[in-house]
Structure 1
Amino acid sequence: MSVIIQGEQFRSLLFGRGPISKATGTLAATTVPLFTVAGGRVAITSLVGVVTTSITVANSYKLQINPTAGDTSDLVAATDIGTTDTTAGTVLGFDGAPASSIVKGAGGLARPLFLPVGQIEHVSAGTDGAITWYLTYVPYDDGATVAAA
């Protein structure tokens, strides 16, 4: 049996470019850039996290877009991901509605997120654990790119 389309090609058809990954390092009570959007607007087709070190203390955690021009806005509402431990290997996702919470174990964008030039940041209130975030995107404007910050 011959293979007509390879896995990488199929993923590109469904999700666009990527995945691009960024590890948070040990979470700290701060705001840290994860990804940089440059050259124009993009449509984020997937954005999921994988916990690499268990999160065991209370941690109000969210993702936001900090555009070069315009107002910073939430991509997902702050969610406590530590009071009930989030163990290493847990997948984190959200549906893309700013008022939604981060979901443990499953979840994905219901539709693409259209983002301007700027930085996707994580805002953490906790002091332990680590997450690696994975992002796929389609350039909405010619020349638009996303890279790990």
Structure 2
Amino acid sequence: MSVIIQGDQVRTITQGILVSRATATLPQSTDGSLFTVSGGRVLLLGLVGEVTTVIQTQVNNTKLKLNPTATGADQDLCAALDISADAVGELYTISGTVGDAMRSDLLIGNPLLAAPLVLSEGDIELDCAASNTGSVAWDLLYTPLDNGASVVSA
């Protein structure tokens, strides 16, 4: 008897566990939680956002960061990108190099991080410098480093 492996099982084995976050409006001149890491450390393999409602036309320097559960300051996962006037379908991702700005385009090649990041327990947040209208949906790929570690949508 043969065993059929489903597509999501193949992805989990080869590229990590997928966690999706439904579209939500942008945080208003603050940061908002996208995902929560709990139970230990994880290896962040990929992170992609897709604009689902056009972003208002005004400067909005935006970045992703980790707000650790343990004491300590927030840690930037990338440098800021101005997302002013981004259209529906615009995609956001990061390289994994903390000093690189968040990337955006209507077509992004490989969404996997060139330099995967080890994240401790805490919240992955979207930090917006302005109050803009617009909505973004997010997908994250990870693999647990510690037994029991997981990521869920915030």
TM-score (norm 2): 0.86
Structure 1 residues 27 and 54, CA gap change in structure 2 (3 angstroms):
farther
Offset of residue 27 of structure 1: 4.1
Offset of residue 86 of structure 1: 1.0
Point out 4+ residue stretches in structure 1 off by more than 6 angstroms: none
Q: Mind listing any 5+ residue stretches in structure 2 that lack a counterpart?
A: none
In the aligned structure 2, how far is the partner of 1:19 from the partner of 1:36? 10
In the aligned structure 1, how far is the partner of 2:67 from the partner of 2:25? 20
Residue correspondences, number: 146
What is aligned with 1:120?
124
Offset of residue 9 of structure 1: 2.2
Whether 1:68 and 2:73 are equivalent positions in the alignment is no
The answer to whether the 8 Å contact 2:63/2:126 transfers is: yes
Measured against aligned partners, the alpha-carbon deviations of 1:12-42 in whole angstroms (never above 9, x if no partner) come to: 1222212332433244211111111100000
The answer to whether the 8 Å contact 1:22/1:34 transfers is: no
Measured against aligned partners, the alpha-carbon deviations of 1:60-104 in whole angstroms (never above 9, x if no partner) come to: 00000011123311001111111xx21011111120111111211
Q: CA RMSD in A?
A: 1.9
The answer to whether the 8 Å contact 2:21/2:137 transfers is: yes
TM-score (norm 1): 0.88
Bigger Cα displacement from structure 2, 26-35 vs 111-120: 26-35
What is aligned with 2:51?
51
Q: Percent of pairs identical after alignment?
A: 42
